[in-house]
Structure 1
Amino acid sequence: MRKAVIHSSGAHYLLLILILSLSVCPVFSQTQVNAPKDTLIVKPVDSISTPDTVQKKKSSQEITDTVYYEADQIDYDSDNKILTLIGKSTMRYQKITLNADTIVYDINNSLFTAGGNPMLIDNTDTTVGEQMVYNIKTRRGRVQYATTHLSDGYFHGARIVKTPKDEVYVEAGDYTTCERAENPHYFFYGKNIKIIPKDKIVSRPVVLNIGNTPVAALPYFVFPIEKNRKSGILTPSWGGHPTGGGYIENIGYYYVPNDYVDFLARGKVTEFREFVLEGASKYAWKYHLNGSINARSVVSTAFANESIQWALDYAHNQQLTPSGLTTLTGRGNLISNKKLYQESSEDADELTNQNLTANFAFAHRFEKINASLNVAWDRTHNLTTDSISENLPSIKFNLPSRPIFPQKEGESSDSAKWYNKITIGYNASGNVRHIKVKSDNLLDTFNSGLHNAISLNAPLSLFKHIRITPSINARLSTFDSYTDTTLLGIRYDTLLVYDTLKSTSRDNRHTDYTEVKRDTLTKDNRGDPDSIIITKSKIIKNELRRSNDSIIHNAWWDAGISASTNLYGLFPIRIFNFAGLRHTFSPSVSYTFTPEYNQDKYFANIGIPYATATKQRQVMTFSLSNQFDGKILKSVKEEEKPSEVKFSILSGSVSASYDFEAEKEKWSDLSVNASTGIKMIRLSYSSSFWLYDQNSSLSAPILKTMSLSLSTGSLGARGKLWGGNLLELDSLTKFDKNRHEKGGAQNWEFSFTPSYSYSMSRATQTSIFIPTKNYGLNASASINFTPNWSLTWNSEYNFKENQWIRNSINIHCDLECWDMRFQWRPERLNPGYYFVVNIKKIPEIKWEQRQ
């Protein structure tokens, strides 16, 4: 046997000499090598075809690429074709890298045997151990006392075997996602573990260890490691409540048939007396449609309170044509019983929302005539009064104003004649309104109607600065029924509402209702009432009149003319960087004529307009508007001209009208409005004044109503606190300066949004004002004690009820491989707490507690 030995000390080795001298090996004798001084390159045997043979088709397990080697010393056995790498040995083949103290490569069998801290890197997966055998043809390997990193997880085992399918078998090993693999915060031990990359981990049995302490065990368990959506059985969770009892939830299956849709079915069981079944689906087809649907059914088998309730939430958005001119959209929430959220929901938004809306709309835009059509179904469910109002459906068609005598194509708008500016517009609407009110006398009605409107306008310019616009409007409404104005009698109906609150809270809702009874919803740990539900009633007076189910039309028209202009004034006021003031004065006057209508019928309120009984009216309306704008100069570079920034300072308007046909008090109330603001602060004022005294004599303006509102938007501050890790200073462990400084400066933030409104009004000129105040506050704050520990606070305070409507305190801790969250809600709507600790990369493994 001949053996070639190369010793390399400085430049390691040069394999080119070895390849040229070993003519007994066809591979080495016929392969051209271009390699660095310290690199060995071996070409595969089947990469060279001989002249006397036909090259065979490569099998899937043949080596088809170059193998690279590095080492301090290389021993080559040319008879047996065995290559031995000694000292800082490295082998690279495609995306596989093997590092070890010693590597023995059997070229005939494509087999590597490595010892002395071997490390195998295959793409992003890393395996280390005491001894390693690996076949680069079959990609099958075996490692003794190994550690490997696969799919964001770390595995330790007495023996690890890798198959050609990249599946890994671990004998007597453990698994963790903690990056502190040598001393993890947690790990799962299994006697037999199988890893299917990008799919799952199967262990039999499995023991969960926190630190080195076993805390839970199962005979068989499957860990999902697939990052993409995948079908499978959901991981159940369980818990308990002091008054509600124990429960188990998330029992179900998740199904993904393709990339466009998925399905979810799961359930929850509470003390075998309440069952919640939920089905959900999400779908998306790019450029075509997307949406979601969620349905749940709540079955209660409690004694004397058996019920089946349901809820449906959905969202849909679809383009029916490639051009996007035709769409189908919808979004909504539906429930079968108004108490469903109160009795079975823990979501704060569901508990606070007292008006559930749902809709579906078909829309089409007629591009050639610039018109639009909308057909919609919409529904509103008032949970307070348990009344439902829905349109089945509503139809709207709109044809915007356009010239009756348009200009010729290509003509400039400046050359338009007066008749080219006469425009006509048309719109139509129809509706079928269904109203259902649950009371002692159930109200369930269907009414329909149709409305058509035509408008004609002829805008003109006088002296180039005054805009004069005459107009005429004609309308026709059609109804399927009407009610006579003759009063037949009076009926009193009872409306019931239900208010839920803490037993210690003050009841300030529905003060115009009378309390009927109080019932206990939940009890505290001592058995005392914790939350209660108050039933209240209110008597509603209904006037009885005769209804007629017959088609009837209602037509009316009006005409008018208006004139307006804008006057501008500039004041070159210069104070500091204030560069000027602009005043815009906009006077306008309009005249409207409405003929007399003798209307002796009432029509249902279904969103279709109609004319009411009125005398002939001729009304002149006057309006004066003022707008003050400022301009400041912002300094830039010395060579450049300063930039101008314009902003609004103050706006105000005054308006009133005069009715020529009125028998007395021809002047209407005088309206005065104003608003101003600086950055985020906005102040608004509105008021109305009588222009007649209590004897109907013309007088100076007398205040009737006034309202003042102040809004600021969100105000806040943010900054940085101590530099470093605060808890590091307070911990019981030895202070580590480097670790402390790596914590960096910690952030804090605080914001609040106050709102205030004040209004007062009176019925007569001599009565006293009745004031009304509304003010509230939304606030939030956050602080990071360390890079891993944070505290946040979110709240909403109602000053009228003098209590927190929403108030939550949240603590979050990132424990490297664990995630801990705690929420405490000392509030009225949804009081309680929620605590959860879960493995970040396996969120299904968690411990949670809630109340």
Structure 2
Amino acid sequence: MQLFSAFAQNPDTSLRSKRAIISSDSTVLDSSLVKLDSTLHTKTDTVKKKSDFEDKIVATAEDSTIYDAKHNIVHLYGKARVVYGDKTVDANYIRLDQKNNTIFAKGTIDSLGHFSGPAIFKDPSQGALTADSVYYNFKTSKGKIYQVYTEQEGGYITGGKVKKQEDNELHMKGVVYSTCSNPYPHQHFGIVITKGIATDRQIVTGPAYVVIEDVPLPIVLPFGFFPKPNRRASGIIFPQFGEDATLGFFLRDFGYYIGLNDYWDMTLKGGIYSKGSYEGNIASRYMKRYKYTGNLFFSYASRKYGVEGTPQYEHPQRDFNIRWSHSQNPNARPGTNFSASVNAGTSTYYRNNANGIMDFNQISQNNLNSSISYSKTWANSPFNLSTSLTHNQDLTRRTVSLGLPSLNFSMSTLNPFDKKDRVGEQKWYQRIAVGYNLTADNRLNTTDSMLFKKESLSKVQSGIRHNIPISMSSRILKYFQFSQNINYTENWYFQTIRKKYALAPTPTGTKDSTSIDTIQGFRRAGEYSVGGGLSTKIYGMVNFKKGKLVAIRHVLTPNIGFSYRPDFSQEKYGFYQEYVYNQAGDRTKYSIFEGSLYGGPGGGKSAAINFGIDNNIEMKVRSTKDTTGNGIKKIPILQGLSLNGNYNFVADSFKLSTLSFSGRTFFTEKLGVNFGGSLDPYVYQTYIRNGVTMGRRVDRYLWQNGKLPRLASFNFSFDYSLNSSTLGKNNKSNNPPTPGGNNETFNRLNASELAQLQQISRDANAFVDFTVPWNFSFYYNFTYANSGLLKTYSQTLSANGDFSLTPKWKVQFTTGYDFQMNKISATSFNIYRDLHCWDLSINWSPFGSYKYYGVNLRVKSSILQDLKLSKRSGYQSFY
């Protein structure tokens, strides 16, 4: 339509030909005898007189060109082309009637009955249009197109007859609209428009029906109206229908899409159930290129369970959930950053809305976390500022912790006594480094049921913490690194507590109790500590002259340190007080900052030696990949095998702490093992009181009884991942390319490779990579705890992966096994079938608390996303 308009607005008078046969009586002459040159000015002028063309036309043909001077018609045969400005018409035959201002182009049929050389219109600004034949009048701007084939924004219009009116209106008859890229007439599906009118802004159709594999379906639309605005369009979102065994028949996900502008859109959805439940949600996306991007989601639902008249029905469960994410381009405002990641709501939202969510990862989560943060860094300055609002919610315990807000101002360490223009090594005082950090917090810990009540305001805790670390390090005796540090911390509080003894009544009398009063007012508490440390590295190596093994190297890193902290529970500091805690008049100390944000200064003097040792063992082997034979490859055997502890000389008892150990090793490049635990050096005694076995630690070392320290805890874990690309000659990344962002791998994909990366859900980032035949990974975790009286352990194995049954079938799975519970954990299968222009997906969880299945057959293209067939059984539904 737009191509025709361009021809009508820019006519031409000049005609050129590579090979021409020109005769006033249409007699065919040899092409070598007659040519358009300077001797033909008379005929050229005659053409100008009778033509309405105003722009230059260049006409060529591979076979022959016949000019009928009497009727002022040019016939072009064999790969004919007419170029009009930047517009082009190609066909096996073109007739240009300058007298009547018309052009006719069509394909031809050879002696074998094969059709070739269809009419092709090309416009750089509008694309290409292909048809069996085209007739167009430049003067009236009317035309006819037969058996059209054109692509329009991801869709294809094919077949039938199209008539163009002078007001750019198109009348269509028998055309097919499809998003299948197969050449016509072999498209897998389409919508047949029996009659229709198309303008620049809308399409209005008469009866239309769906055809799949040339089979018409009994799905007929009596009429249709499709707007085509030049901006983001708004429109109705079709609902889902079904039945839920608990909530009844439903109409769900019915809504309206609003294209607010080029940077912001919004989707409104809702649903109702026959037994009285309802739900609604708002989803919005926004983006400004090179500035920021984000999305917002809010959902509210009211669920009625049971039957009418029961408490569950009369008092429905109301749930809400809000999610917001915002990210700023780092280059938008260098030095400052604002980001948000919010996920908050009622603790029962995901459980009660499982049928609508159908995402096991969301439904099975136990915690919700949120953070809204702003940070600023001053250029050429050591100062940094950050502030944040945080939210942590335990869905199992139904507890909520809010940071309202938190602020952090810090200064990176600097050397105040060093000179910028210093020459030579630093002197000892020039190595002194000083830092500063200020933290201000407001925190509320409560339950979700009390969150929005006035009583919760009195539970808000506030405080400010100042920390000044001072350190210095130097090398002594050439091989030892010696460090010293002084750390001062001061906390500011706006409330403290006082404890008093009280008698609490009981059914049989009274019992000892304690009352706690909160005292408002500013109080400060400062504490300090000093320390030092000494460390070095010891190297050992064993070389081998024969075989692939070249050497084994052992790096031993011992360290020892000393720390001192005074007893801040002494009366002179005023941080602790005493109170009577029983009827006998016994007294005990307590901190007036107990239960506060940062706690009070520690009670009891500490003068401790800290000690530790770290080991790294690796071997060197000759690499078989090095053709010179001199290549050496390092293989880690044991990394980070460490043992740490401390001994407090001034403690009343249990001076030696438990000993912690950890390490990691790699059997292969893909298989890594982590382990750790703790050793208790003290004797543990058990005894029986009132028929109950009890136990306690005794201040006596086990080796004094000829025994080794007791294994108090131990954890062991490893994971392994493997895919087909890592075994091939051309290793690829384990992470498949994903659309969007600055993914170089994805950006390098050509059209055929990109077609294999299929979108399989409404989520624009949910893609299945059909290019990788298989992936597999698993994770094993073992934990053990021994309190001396009770031993517990847990052992779990989880696995996930995917594999391609054929180039078009992909199966994904997630499963696991709990050895302690002796049962399979949550298991799900996702099966995908690439049907060229369709997608088939099957989601199935065969057993467990969230047993479900879902089958979806839908068109890939988002233009016809509502053309789908869905069948599913929810977590609570049996249908």
Q: CA deviation at 1:711?
A: 0.3
- State the alpha-carbon separation in 2 of the partners of residues 371 and 849 from structure 1: 58
1:26 is paired with a residue of what secondary structure? helix
Greater shift in the superposed pair: 620-629 or 67-76: 67-76
TM-superposed deviation, 1:325: 1.3
Q: Structure 1, residues 160-182: CA drift from partner, whole Å, max 9, x if none?
A: 12457876431244333442533
* One-letter amino acid of the structure 1 residue matched with residue 797 of structure 2: G
Structure 2 contact 550–620 (Cα < 8 Å) conserved? yes
Alignment of 1:525-674 (within 5 A): 544-574=515-545, 576-598=547-569, 599=576, 600-603=590-593, 605=595, 607-614=597-604, 616-635=605-624, 638=627, 641-645=630-634, 647-674=636-663
The equivalent residue for 2:248 is 245
Give the corresponding residue for 1:516.
none
The CA deviation at 1:63 is 4.8
RMSD: 3.8
Matched, 1:709 2:719: no
Q: For the residues of structure 2 that align with 1:551 and 1:100, how far apart are their CA atoms? A: 94
Query: Is 1:771 equivalent to 2:763 in the alignment?
Result: no
- Which of 418, 421, 424 aligns to 1:410? It is 421
Q: What is the CA deviation profile of residues 376-401 of structure 1, one whole-angstrom value per residue up to 9, with x for unaligned ones?
A: 11011222122111011111122222
Aligned residue for 2:720, secondary structure, equals: coil
Give the Cα separation in 1 of the matches to 2:303 and 2:699.
65
- Letter of the structure 2 residue corresponding to residue 361 of structure 1: S
Deviation at 1:360, TM superposition (A): 1.0
Match of 1:339 in 2: 348
- Preserved CA contact (<8 Å) 2:417 2:432: yes
> Structure 1: which 5+ runs fail to align?
30-43, 48-60, 493-540, 722-742
1:236–1:248 Cα contact (<8 Å) kept: no
Which of 341, 350, 370 matches 2:382?
370
2:660/2:676 contact within 8 Å kept = no
> 1:96 and 2:100 equivalent?
no
Residue 496 of structure 2 is aligned to residue 479 of structure 1 = no
What CA deviation, in whole Å up to 9, does each residue of 1:171-213 have, x standing for no partner?
244333442533544332333223458x765422222234333
Within a 5 Å distance, the mapping from 1:229-378 to structure 2 comes to 230-243=232-245, 244-271=247-274, 273-300=276-303, 303-306=313-316, 308-318=318-328, 323-335=333-345, 337-345=346-354, 346=357, 347-378=359-390
Bigger Cα displacement from structure 2, 793-802 vs 282-291? 793-802
Task: Give the letter for the 1:782 counterpart.
Answer: F
Paired residue for 1:39?
none
Tell me if 1:382 matches 2:394. yes
Kindly provide the amino acid, as one letter, of the partner of residue 58 in structure 2.
Answer: V
CA 1:6–1:623: 2 relative to 1, 3 Å: farther
* Alpha-carbon distance in structure 2 between the residues aligned to 1:208 and 1:649: 65
* Distance change (3 Å), C-alpha of 1:820 and 1:104: same
Distance (Å, rounded) in 2 between the aligned partners of 1:790 and 1:803: 27
The CA distance in 2 between the partners of 1:491 and 1:797, in whole Å, is 51
The question of whether the paired residues in 2 share the 8 Å contact of 1:20 and 1:28 is answered with: no
1:339 Cα deviation after fit: 2.0
1:25 corresponds to which of 32, 43, 52: 43
Determine if contact 1:7/1:73 at 8 Å carries over to the other structure.
no
When residues 28 and 580 of structure 1 are mapped into structure 2, their CA distance, relative to the original with a 3 A threshold, is: farther
8 Å Cα contact 1:477/1:553 also seen in 2 = yes
Q: Distance in 2 between matches of 1:115 and 1:665?
A: 99
Say which SS state the counterpart of residue 396 (structure 2) adopts: coil
One-letter identity of the residue aligned with 2:600: Y
For the pair 1:795 / 2:815, whether they are aligned, the reply is yes
Distance 1:811 1:437, change over 3 A: closer
- Matched residue, 1:105: 96
1:833 counterpart (853, 856, 860): 853
Alignment CA distance shift 1:419-1:798 (3 Å): same
**Counterpart residue type for residue 621 of structure 2:** I
Could you say what secondary structure the match of 1:713 adopts?
A: strand
Aligned match for 1:749, one of 752, 774, 780: 774
Aligned counterpart in structure 1 of residue 678 of structure 2, from 687, 690, 693: 687
Instruction: Pick closer, same or farther for the CA change 1:714–1:114 going to 2, 3 Å.
Output: closer
1:601 is aligned with what amino acid?
S
Distance 1:368 1:361 in 2: 23
How far off its partner does 1:106 sit? Answer: 0.9
Distance, in Å, in 1 between the alignment partners of 2:149 and 2:156 is 6
Contact 2:622 2:629 survives alignment (8 Å):
no
Aligned identity (percent) is: 19
Contact 2:609-2:647 within 8 A present in 1 as well: yes
1:817 is aligned with what amino acid? C
Provide TM-score, normalisation by structure 1: 0.78
Q: CA 1:139–1:154 in structure 2 vs 1: closer, same or farther (change >3 Å)?
A: farther
**1:797: how far off?**
3.7
1:806 counterpart SS class:
coil
Q: Give the structure 1 partner of residue 17 of structure 2.
A: none
Are 2:592 and 2:600, in contact at CA under 8 Å, matched by a contact in 1? no
Number of equivalences = 737
Change (3 A) 1:6 1:461: farther
Query: 1:82 touches 1:106 (CA, 8 Å); kept in 2?
Result: yes
Provide the residue aligned with 1:122 in structure 2.
Answer: 121
Cα 1:640–1:668 change in 2 (3 A) is closer
Where do 1:159-238 residues align within 5 Å?
159-162=161-164, 168-178=170-180, 179=182, 181-182=184-185, 184-195=187-198, 201-210=203-212, 211-222=214-225, 230-238=232-240
> Which AA in structure 2 matches 1:703?
R
After superposing the two structures, state which structure 1 stretch, 636-645 or 814-823, moved more: 636-645
After superposition, the Cα gap between the structure-2 partners of 1:234 and 1:487, relative to the gap in structure 1 and judged at 3 Å, is farther
For residues 220 and 611 of structure 1, what CA distance do their matches in structure 2 show? Answer: 78
Does structure 1 conserve the Cα–Cα contact (< 8 Å) formed by 2:255 and 2:269? yes
Displacement of 1:715 after TM fit?
Answer: 4.3
Q: Distance in 1 between matches of 2:503 and 2:361?
A: 43
The residue aligned with 2:70 is 79
Does 1:843 pair with 2:865?
Answer: yes
Note if contact 2:26-2:69 (Cα within 8 Å) is conserved in structure 1: no
Relative to the length of structure 2, the TM-score reads 0.75
What is the alpha-carbon distance in structure 2 between the residues aligned to residue 334 and residue 370 of structure 1?
35
SS of aligned partner of 2:699: coil
Q: Distance in 2 between matches of 1:635 and 1:207?
A: 65
In 1, the alpha carbon distance for the partners of 2:62 and 2:118 equals 15
Secondary structure of the residue aligned to 1:481 is: strand
The question of whether the paired residues in 2 share the 8 Å contact of 1:669 and 1:689 is answered with yes
2:58 to 43, 57, 67: 67
Which of 773, 783, 790 is residue 758 of structure 1 equivalent to? 783
Residues 295-351 of structure 1, C-alpha deviations (whole Å, 9 max, x = no match): 12224577513465432110122479955212221111121x322222224232331
1:349 partner SS: helix
* Cα contact 2:59–2:80 (8 A) shared by 1: no
Change beyond 3 A, Cα 1:704–1:74: closer
Query: Does the aligned pair in 2 maintain the 1:204–1:219 contact within 8 Å?
Result: yes
